[in-house]
Amino acid sequence: MIVSLIIIGSLIIYLFCYRFYGFYLQKKIVQPSESPTPAVRLRDDVDFVPANKYVLFGHHFASIAGAAPIVGPVIALAWGWLPALLWVWLGNIFIGAVHDYLSLMSSVRYDGHSIQWIASKVIKKRTGYLFAWFILFVLILVVAAFGAVLGKIFVAKPQVPPSYFLQIVAALILGFLLYRLRISFLLATLIGIIMLIGAIVLGMYFPINASYKTWMFIFFFYIILAASLPVHVLLQPRDYLNAWLLVAGLILGSFAILFSFKKITLFAFTSFNAPLIAHKPTPFWPVVPLIIACGSLSGFHALVASGTTSKQLSKEIEGLFIGYGSMLTEGFL
């Protein structure tokens, strides 16, 4: 089978499902109102701040899309590319994107509270406590894992750290332009993209060499600093710039595949019990949701949706584009 057909087919499927199934969910389940969202009603310019829907889409998309939607499907090729592809399509459209959208809107309807708080109110307090502890340990593991990977990259590629830190500076400037000077959104975006490109280029000429432990200490203090600042100062504009990198890679990669006209040389199907985990026979179900989580079905996305995104949603009607649309885009990625 030619890879180009999968790209075209995926694009058609996702656009079709967004237009019809997504709008069905919006009309029949969510039923967005015109009431002020928590971002407007509880605005404090720290956590609650209404954002442009495209900026918020970038923030949400960059927060949920990392290495996982690339690494997971590669591992799942042990079962064959067809089962992995079908799980991404079906899981993403009918489970993952629905989960993300409804998690976001549930938080919006509960004054921007996090998912564990909602669980304590809807189910019982004990559920909320257990959920909160589970989330804490999961986040520790996730941050530690991502920090370890990033630390190794910084040591192996000393050109990356300066680009990374310059991007942070660019994000701070972008946030200042959008929320302090309040210049045109398009102009601010153009300036941000130019600064982003400049950060990448300059990083190639000014490498920074440091040990793994040094970078881990820097990450530790950066996490505290980033979490302490108002969301629109660093977190939101930084993720918006990151989203442009993801979108650029997605577009360029798609065009490269479209015009390559290469055939898939891997097996479409190998076995539903292929050697995968610890090189031992691993059943496709129920293991596949663990292997392909981001891009298909990921509970972590509920933490992003209810943790930060719901506190920046300007209008309920924009929830479909940000919650459902971001997850479909990650599935396409």
Model confidence pLDDT, tens digit, residues 193-241: 999 999 999 989 999 999 999 999 999 899 899 889 999 999 999 999 9
Q: Look at the chain and report how many structural domains it folds into.
A: 1
Residue 1, pLDDT score: 57
CA dihedral 132, 138, 144, 150 (to 10 degrees): -110
How far is Cα 146 from Cα 144, in angstroms, rounded to an integer? Answer: 6
pLDDT value of residue 155: 93
Q: Provide the pLDDT for residue 324.
A: 94
pLDDT in tens, 301-321: 888 999 899 999 999 999 999
Q: What pLDDT shows up at residue 279?
A: 78
Burial of 158 (0-12, 13-18, 19+ CB in 10 A): middle
> Which distant-in-sequence residues (6+ apart) come within 8 Å of 48 by Cβ?
38, 39, 42, 112, 311, 312
CA atoms of 305 and 307, how far apart (whole Å): 6
* For the chain, percent of residues with pLDDT exceeding 70: 99
> How does residue 60 score in pLDDT terms, banded at 50, 70 and 90?
very high
Q: Can you read off the two tokens belonging to residue 102?
A: 């409804």
* Residue 120 lies inside a defined structural domain of this protein: yes
Element (H, E) at 67: none
Helices (H) and strands (E) in the chain, counts: 17, 2
Confidence of residue 18 (pLDDT cuts 50, 70, 90): very high
Three-class SS of 272-299: CEEECHHHCEEEHHHHHHHHCCCCCCCC
The reply to whether 148 falls in a domain is no
Residue 204 lies in a domain: no
pLDDT tens digits, one per residue of 237-291: 999 999 999 889 888 888 888 887 777 777 778 888 888 877 788 888 888 888 8
Q: Is residue 282 part of a domain?
A: yes
Evaluate whether residue 219 is within a structural domain: no
What tokens does 230 get? 């108002």
**What is each CA distance from 35 to 7, 32, 106, 176, 203, in whole angstroms?**
39, 9, 14, 28, 46
pLDDT over 80 (residue 69):
no
Question: How far apart, in whole angstroms, are the C-alpha atoms of residue 136 and residue 143?
Answer: 11
- Res. 34: pLDDT tops 60: yes
At which residue do the structure tokens 């977190």 appear? 235
Amino acid at 94: F
| 226 lies in some domain | no
d(Cα 330, Cα 69) in Å, to the nearest integer? 7
Report pLDDT for 145: 81
- Whether 117 and 111 have beta carbons less than 8 Å apart is answered as no
pLDDT digits (tens, 9 = 90+) for 107-150: 999 999 998 899 898 888 888 889 899 889 888 888 888 888 88
Residue 91, pLDDT > 60, answer yes
Q: Kindly state whether residue 110 falls inside one of the protein's structural domains.
A: yes
- Structural domain that includes position 53: 3-127+248-332
Give the whole-angstrom CA distance, residue 121 versus residue 57.
Answer: 28
Q: Is residue 45 part of a domain?
A: yes
> How many angstroms from the chain centroid is the CA of residue 11?
19
Helices (H), 65-96: 68-76, 81-91
pLDDT of residue 329 exceeding 70: yes
Strand partners, 282: 274
pLDDT at 143: 84
Residues written for the chain = 333
Mean pLDDT, residues 65-82: 80
Q: Which residues of 188-198 are buried (b: 16+ CB within 10 A; e: fewer)?
A: bbebbbebbee
Angle between helix axes 235-258 and 185-205 (nearest 10 degrees) is 80
